[in-house]
């Protein structure tokens, strides 16, 4: 015969087990709901479609060592850094096309970032005032772009100058340009054009030997 005390204890334990099972089941359901709710909160907003704007690109030509201004209609972001990156991406896409007059592989993906900082000198090379508004653009190129760029004085110089001129044409406050490759200073683009110096926008305008 089971003692009365043990029978009561047994029933209490059974009831406690049932209650604990119910609580665990409830908690599991709540965790599942939270997980589903978190997935729903993921950013699924459609990208904002901005109206296309006119961008002026200085497109290089190896045939006559010249930069030619060409206008393109592009959807451009409002943020100046992103805007500069989008414009340079379009320029490098043109160079990556099969019929390019200045063929350079890589395309838009070659520009990792563009940072805009206050400039130290103005377009004439003199030290700029703190509140002059002039900006230095730091362009971080991908290593694959530099590695695949054709080597040569003319072709490298044209790439650098077309980037400088294109930036200044679309962001007039950019008066200086510096280049990084994979976030590091690099001696030259592909063995010739100096990437250690700061380029002034005047450099791009001073491509003609007849203009000292």
Partner 1 sequence: MRWTRWEAGGARRGAWILMAGAAASLAASAQNPQPVPAAPAARSVVVIDAAHGGDDTGGHLSDGSYEKAATLALAVRLRSLLGARGFQVVMTRESDATVNPEQRATIANRANPQACISLHAAETGSGVHLFASNLTPVAVTRFMPWKTAQAGWLTRSLALTGVLNSALQHAGTAVTLGRTALPGIDSMTCPAVALELAPERDTDKKLTAEPDNPDYQARVAAVLATALLEWRTEQANMGARQP
Asked if 147 touches partner 1 (CB under 8 A), the answer is no
Distance of closest approach, residue 62 Cβ to partner 1, in angstroms: 5
What's the Cα-to-Cα distance from 120 to each of 117, 141, 168, rounded to whole Å? 9, 22, 16
Q: How many residues bind partner 1 (CB under 8 A)?
A: 32
Q: Position of tokens 């063995």? A: 191
Q: How many angstroms separate the CA atoms of 175 and 111, rounded?
A: 19
Asked if 192 touches partner 1 (CB under 8 A), the answer is yes
- Applying CB under 8 A, the span of 30-38, 57-65, 81-89, 114-122 interacting with partner 1 comes to 57-65
Radius of gyration of the chain, Cα coordinates, nearest whole angstrom = 30
**57 HSE (CA, 13 A, CB side):** 23
> Which of 63, 99, 130, 131: binder of partner 1 (CB under 8 A)?
63
Our CA angle for 101, 103, 106, nearest 5°, is: 145
Residue 74 vs 138, nearer CB to partner 1? 138
For residue 57, report the phi and psi dihedrals to the nearest 5 degrees.
Answer: -105, 140
> Which of 52, 69, 77, 125: binder of partner 1 (CB under 8 A)?
125
Give yes or no for a contact between 188 and 149, defined as CB atoms under 8 angstroms apart. Answer: no
Asked if 207 touches partner 1 (CB under 8 A), the answer is yes
What's the Cα-to-Cα distance from 5 to each of 13, 134, 163, rounded to whole Å? 12, 90, 90
Asked if 105 touches partner 1 (CB under 8 A), the answer is no
Asked if 196 touches partner 1 (CB under 8 A), the answer is yes
Asked if 84 touches partner 1 (CB under 8 A), the answer is no
Asked if 62 touches partner 1 (CB under 8 A), the answer is yes
Distance of closest approach, residue 47 Cβ to partner 1, in angstroms: 38
Distance of closest approach, residue 145 Cβ to partner 1, in angstroms: 16
3-state secondary structure of 139: strand
Task: Tell me which residues touch partner 1 (CB under 8 A).
Answer: 62-65, 103, 125, 150-155, 157, 160, 187-188, 190-194, 196-197, 199, 202-203, 206-210, 212
């Amino acid at each position: 015969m089971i003692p009365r005390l043990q029978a009561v204890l047994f029933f209490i334990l059974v009831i406690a087990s049932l209650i604990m099972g119910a609580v665990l089941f409830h908690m599991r359901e709540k965790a599942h709901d939270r997980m589903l709710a978190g997935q729903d909160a993921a950013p699924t907003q459609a990208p904002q479609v901005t109206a296309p704007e006119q961008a002026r690109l200085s497109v290089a030509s190896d045939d006559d060592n010249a930069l030619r201004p060409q206008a393109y209609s592009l959807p451009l972001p409002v943020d100046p850094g992103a805007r500069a990156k989008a414009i340079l991406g379009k320029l490098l896409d043109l160079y990556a096309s099969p019929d390019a007059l200045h063929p350079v592989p890589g395309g838009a993906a070659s520009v990792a970032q563009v940072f805009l900082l206050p400039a130290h000198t103005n377009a004439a090379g003199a030290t700029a005032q703190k509140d002059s508004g002039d900006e230095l653009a730091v362009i971080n190129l991908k290593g694959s772009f530099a590695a695949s760029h054709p080597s040569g004085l003319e072709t490298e110089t044209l790439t650098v100058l077309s980037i400088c001129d294109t930036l200044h044409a679309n962001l007039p406050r950019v008066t200086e340009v510096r280049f990084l490759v994979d976030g590091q200073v690099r001696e030259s683009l592909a063995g010739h054009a100096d990437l250690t110096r700061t380029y002034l926008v005047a450099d791009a305008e001073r491509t003609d030997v007849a203009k000292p």
